[in-house]
């Protein structure tokens, strides 16, 4: 059951990726994909995503819907569980890999994740050695990049994060669903750029 759901999500993701100029130029879609068993773990933030009804601002509804269909079967990431961030963030920030640790596929060339945030949530400043591209699939969010003006991005728009350059994201009056690509160091996890709660915006 879940394999069919992830296979459908993979097909939609590949089609979207290969047709999106920024995604396609960031990294060719991997040719070394291997199917991996997924250990499902539904967390509260995943339930918020599954109940979300304000993601209609979207130019890729097939990918959005495939991402939602896979949500009950995914292994939701808990990267920040022991990082000092408050429970409210952990309860609301939702991310799972399609290609990468815990995901339904592995590749040595690229990581691919989906990140959902409900409205009114701040994802604090963080950084990681991997280069990263966010593509907004649905809704909108403010993207903060160190030493750059904040940009509010909506469906189809992208934000590139260079290696170890701090970045953050805030939803205001809409939720957001994003497709997140990583290349380079796919092993090292992100860390907060400053202690959560002590940050100032760039
Ligand atoms: Fe990042």
Taking only Cα atoms into account, the Rg of the chain, rounded to an integer number of angstroms, comes to 16
Instruction: Dig out the tokens for 65 from the structure.
Output: 């819907």
- Count of C-beta atoms within a 10 Å radius of residue 42: 14
Percent of the chain whose pLDDT exceeds 70 = 97
State residue 161's pLDDT score. Answer: 98
- CATH number for the domain spanning 144: value is 2.60.120.10
Cα-to-centroid distance, 125 and ligand 1 (Å): 9
pLDDT tens for each residue of 126-182: 999 999 999 999 999 999 999 999 999 999 999 999 999 999 999 999 999 999 999
Distance 183 CA to ligand 1 centre (A): 11
| Residue 47 in domain | yes
Which residues form the domain of 115?
A: 2-192
pLDDT range class, residue 79, cuts 50, 70, 90: confident
Per-residue pLDDT at 202 exceeds 50: no
Is 85 part of any domain?
yes
Please give the tally of structural domains in the chain: 1
CA 169, 47, 104, 8 torsion-angle sign: negative
Quote the ligand 1 centre to 127 CA distance (angstroms).
6
At 176 the three-state DSSP class reads strand
| Mean pLDDT confidence for 101-128 | 97
């Amino acid at each position: 059951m879940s394999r069919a759901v992830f296979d459908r999500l993979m097909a939609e993701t590949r089609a979207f990726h290969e047709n999106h100029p920024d995604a396609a130029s960031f990294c060719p879609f991997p040719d070394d994909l291997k199917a991996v068993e997924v250990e499902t773990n539904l967390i509260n933030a995943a339930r918020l995503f599954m109940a979300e009804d304000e993601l209609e601002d979207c130019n890729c509804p097939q990918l959005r819907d495939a991402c939602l269909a896979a949500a009950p079967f995914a292994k939701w990431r808990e990267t920040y569980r022991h990082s000092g961030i408050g429970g409210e963030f952990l309860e609301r920030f939702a991310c799972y890999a399609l290609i990468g640790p815990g995901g339904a596929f592995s590749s040595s060339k690229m990581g691919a994740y989906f990140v959902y945030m409900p409205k009114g949530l701040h994802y604090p400043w963080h950084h990681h050695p991997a280069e990263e591209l966010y593509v907004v699939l649905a809704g909108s969010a403010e993207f903060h990049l160190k030493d750059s003006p904040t940009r509010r991005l909506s469906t189809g728009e992208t934000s590139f994060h260079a290696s170890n350059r701090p970045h953050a994201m805030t939803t205001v009056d809409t939720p957001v669903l994003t497709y997140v690509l990583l290349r380079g160091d796919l092993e090292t996890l992100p860390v907060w750029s400053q202690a959560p709660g002590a940050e100032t915006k760039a």
